[in-house]
Amino acid sequence: MKKTLLALLALLFASALSACDREIPDYTVDEAFVLMNEAVDEWLGAASFVATFEATYESETLDLTESIVVRMKNAGSGDLVSHVVMSVTKNDSWQYTVNQYEAGILYTARNENGTVERVYDAQSRTSFEALYRSFLKSGFDAADVREESIMVDADQCTVTFELDANEIDDSLYVPEDLDRVTFATVSVTFRHDGTLVRLDVAYDGYVGEERGAENYVVTFEKLDRYVVIARLSASEKATYAEVEEDAE
């Protein structure tokens, strides 16, 4: 027993030493910025992913909380399948929605303030994909940022910068309630193999003349890895009614 315990302790000690000896890449800020954009491009081109989005917007009259978990596979192809769970609270109103996309049809089960509906409607693959990549729509142009800095450890790198207000809507998510936004503080974390890990965004936004604070975090749990999404059965699809043309 003592020999086994000693062997285990020796293994743990060796693992700790190995972790301490791992080399930390010596990026410049400019090099890290380029690698960050390459990681963003990998995200935009990922055929499968699981991503979690958590956001809040707070002002004197508007309190908005959004939580979204997106599972997608076969993106960019006619066999796109996706499962999205979304919870939104806006002041005293709330909505819980489950979206299932397959074969060009969007099936939506929605509970809004206790009223439940199940509907389906045709939706183009490209528009559906774009909607659920809108947390991070593109890479960033160095000319549009300022105050760049980096943090690097043995596992990953975080690039932090301020993004010009005029570029936010083209690159990041902006709630439809907001009329305009200020500059954003952005942090993008990626592994040294070029895989995105996390996106942190904060900016002030206005509804009319009222100012509030928007903050959101995206965690990229899987990128181009196997994602399991169960397809709806025929009996499940039968519980959905087709959306009426003037329903929206």
- DSSP assignment of 163-195 equals E-GGGHHHHB---TT-SEEEEEEEEEEEETTS-
The two structure tokens encoding residue 56: 């809040």
| Single-letter amino acid code for the residue at 193 | D
> Would you give the DSSP letter of residue 142?
G
SS3 134: coil
Closest CA to 79 of 236, 239, 229: 229
Closest CA to 109 of 245, 244, 237: 237
What pLDDT shows up at residue 246?
59
Closest CA to 44 of 230, 153, 199: 199
| Single-letter amino acid code for the residue at 28 | T
Question: Using an 8 Å Cβ cutoff, are 158 and 217 in contact?
Answer: no
Contacts (Cβ under 8 Å, ≥6 apart) of 22: 154
Which of the residues in the chain have pLDDT under 70?
1-21, 245-248
What pLDDT shows up at residue 21?
60
Rounded Cα distance between 63 and 67, Å, is 14
Q: Give pLDDT tens digits for 77-133.
A: 888 999 999 999 999 899 999 999 999 999 999 999 889 999 999 999 999 999 999
User: Could you write out the DSSP letters of every residue in 45-92?
Assistant: T-SSEEEEEEEEEE-SS-EEEEEEEEEEESTTSTT-EEEEEEEEEETT
What pLDDT shows up at residue 1?
47
Rounded Cα distance between 160 and 94, Å, is 33
> Please, what are the domains in the chain?
29-242 (2.50.20.20)
**Phi/psi at 40 (nearest 5 deg)?**
-65, -40
Global pTM value: 0.84
Residue owning tokens 């693959």: 125
